[in-house]
Amino acid sequence: MAVLFPPRDDPARLIVLDEQVLADLTYWIRTEPRTAMRIVQLIEHASRDPLQGIGKPEPLKHRGADYWSRRITQEHRLVYLVRSDRVVFIQARYHY
C-alpha cells in the first residue's frame, strides 16, 4: 500500500491509496486530465461517505461485502475496500 493519510472530516478513518490506484491516476493525468479530476472527486466523496454519494456507489458481490465501486466513466470504475478504520482505494481504471 502506497499512501496513508487521515481525511479532514474524520481523522479516525485512514485513506489508503494502493500502488495500482496511483499508477492509474498517473495514466489519467497524462491521457485525460478531466478524468483524473473526476477520480480525485470520487476519492474525496468516498472518503467522507463510502456507501453513498456521487458515482453511483455499488457493492461488489463477487469480491465480498466490503468492496465497493463508483463510476468514473461509462467504462471505468473506482474500486475500494471499506473497513471501520480505513477506506482502501484499489483500482481507478477498467471495469472491476
Catalytic residue among 45, 75, 76, 95: 95
- Torsion, Cα 75 50 5 72, to 10 degrees, reads 10
Catalytic residue among 19, 58, 75, 76: 58
Half-sphere CA count of 56, side-chain side, radius 13 A? 7
**Is residue 62 packed enough to be buried (19+ CB in 10 Å), middle (13-18) or exposed (0-12)?**
exposed
95 is a catalytic site residue: yes
Which residues carry out catalysis? 58, 95
